[in-house]
């Protein structure tokens, strides 16, 4: 059967995959149980997934005979970075492209839309209180803490640009080499009540050492990251989803019942994202 779309997925794609595909039946994850993670991510870091994209049945409501081609890429697995920034002549960073990615994009040319769920945890360390109290002005998150230094725009730009590079460069290549429509799905916003997360993933020791910054500041970093990423991706004709509003608090944080661990959405979140992606696929081509 023809694929509905072509998916590039790191860990933030797991919620979507669990919600609407049979991927776990196709690629059982293996590894020693890791108490840092809930059941969703057991084996995710074991490197047992195949190095090539695979076809998966789609299980959307009212749908039959639908499929996607998904390239599921855990860290430490056989794929590695799709595009990595390395020092170039004179020391300036330049992209180094994974040959396997070039080959996959060649195969995908003209075959259907590309949906990206890559990267997304680059901003995660900003949730930690690693620095003396600070704040910054954000147009989407009102208020500034009294009596603390306020970070200027230039410093914010220098922090956030390398995070967006990690998504922008792979998708710029995908748009150029395939000519296909493209959509990027950012990670969910910071979860509410982070202190209550049962599984701290890879950040447990850091959380114990530094604690969390206020929720409003966490949300500011996330909104800044998403705005800058959207602006860059729109320049190459790549659409970007917003987090599903049903999963958010009035302030814009990820509601506890839609969270998996400290930084991810769960299967319920994946169901909402799947509905958004399905609507985008059915919509008019740009």
The residue among 95 and 107 whose pLDDT is bigger is 107
- pLDDT above 80 (res 76): no
Length of the chain, please? 286
- pLDDT above 80 (res 280): yes
Identify the band that residue 32 occupies on the pLDDT scale cut at 50, 70 and 90. confident
- The predicted model gives 80-87 an average pLDDT of 90
The residue among 163 and 61 whose pLDDT is bigger is 163
The 10s digit of each residue's pLDDT in 120-135 is: 988 889 999 999 999 9
Widest CA span of the chain, in angstroms?
61
Q: Which residue in 185, 217, 249 sits closest to 11, CA to CA?
A: 185
The residue among 286 and 191 whose pLDDT is bigger is 191
The 10s digit of each residue's pLDDT in 88-97 is: 888 888 889 9
Q: Which residue in 151, 114, 86, 122 sits closest to 7, CA to CA?
A: 114
Burial class (CB in 10 A: 0-12, 13-18, 19+), 147: exposed
- pLDDT above 60 (res 107): yes
- Which residue is listed with tokens 């949906």? 115
Task: Report d(CA 114, CA 97) in Å as an integer.
Answer: 18
- The predicted model gives 49-78 an average pLDDT of 83
Q: Which residue in 244, 260, 9, 227 sits closest to 117, CA to CA?
A: 9
68 phi and psi, to 5 degrees? Answer: -130, 165
Residue spans per domain, the chain: 3-120+164-193+225-282
- pLDDT above 60 (res 1): no
Q: Which residue in 50, 101, 105, 96 sits closest to 72, CA to CA?
A: 50
The 10s digit of each residue's pLDDT in 230-252 is: 999 999 999 999 999 999 999 99
User: What per-residue confidence (pLDDT) applies to 2?
Assistant: 61
- pLDDT above 60 (res 286): no
User: What per-residue confidence (pLDDT) applies to 52?
Assistant: 92
H or E element that contains 70? strand 67-72
Task: Report d(CA 187, CA 118) in Å as an integer.
Answer: 9
The residue among 16 and 31 whose pLDDT is bigger is 16
User: What per-residue confidence (pLDDT) applies to 30?
Assistant: 77
**What are the distances in angstroms from CA 148 to CA 106, 110, 134, 145, 233?**
51, 52, 5, 6, 33
CATH of span 3-120+164-193+225-282:
3.40.50
The 10s digit of each residue's pLDDT in 159-207 is: 999 999 999 999 999 999 999 999 999 999 999 999 999 999 889 999 9
Identify the band that residue 23 occupies on the pLDDT scale cut at 50, 70 and 90. very high
Q: How confident is the prediction for the chain on average, in pLDDT?
A: 92
Identify the band that residue 221 occupies on the pLDDT scale cut at 50, 70 and 90. very high
């Amino acid at each position: 059967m023809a694929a509905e779309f072509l998916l590039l997925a790191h860990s933030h794609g797991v919620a979507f995959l669990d919600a609407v595909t049979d991927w776990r039946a196709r690629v059982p994850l293996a590894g020693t149980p890791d108490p840092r993670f809930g059941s969703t991510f057991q084996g995710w870091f074991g490197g047992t997934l195949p190095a090539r994209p695979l076809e998966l049945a789609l299980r959307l409501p009212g749908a039959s005979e639908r499929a996607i081609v998904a390239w599921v890429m855990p860290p430490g697995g056989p794929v590695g970075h799709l595009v990595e920034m390395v020092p170039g002549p004179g020391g300036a960073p330049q992209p180094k492209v994974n040959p396997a990615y070039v080959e996959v994009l060649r195969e995908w040319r003209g075959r259907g839309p590309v949906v990206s769920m890559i990267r997304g945890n680059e901003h995660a360390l900003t949730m930690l209180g690693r620095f003396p109290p600070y704040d910054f002005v954000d147009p989407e998150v009102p208020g500034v803490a009294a009596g603390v230094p306020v970070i200027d725009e230039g410093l914010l730009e220098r922090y956030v640009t390398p995070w967006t590079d990690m998504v922008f460069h792979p998708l710029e290549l995908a748009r150029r080499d395939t000519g296909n429509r493209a959509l990027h799905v950012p990670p969910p916003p910071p979860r509410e009540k982070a202190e209550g997360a049962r599984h701290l993933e890879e950040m447990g020791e850091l959380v114990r050492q530094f604690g969390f910054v206020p929720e409003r500041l966490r949300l500011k970093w996330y909104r800044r990251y998403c705005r800058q990423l959207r602006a860059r991706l729109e320049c190459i004709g790549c659409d970007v989803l917003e987090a599903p509003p049903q999963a958010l608090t009035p302030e814009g944080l990820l509601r506890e019942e839609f969270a998996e661990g400290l930084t991810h959405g769960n299967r319920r979140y994946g169901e909402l994202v799947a509905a958004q992606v399905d609507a985008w696929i059915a919509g008019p081509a740009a």
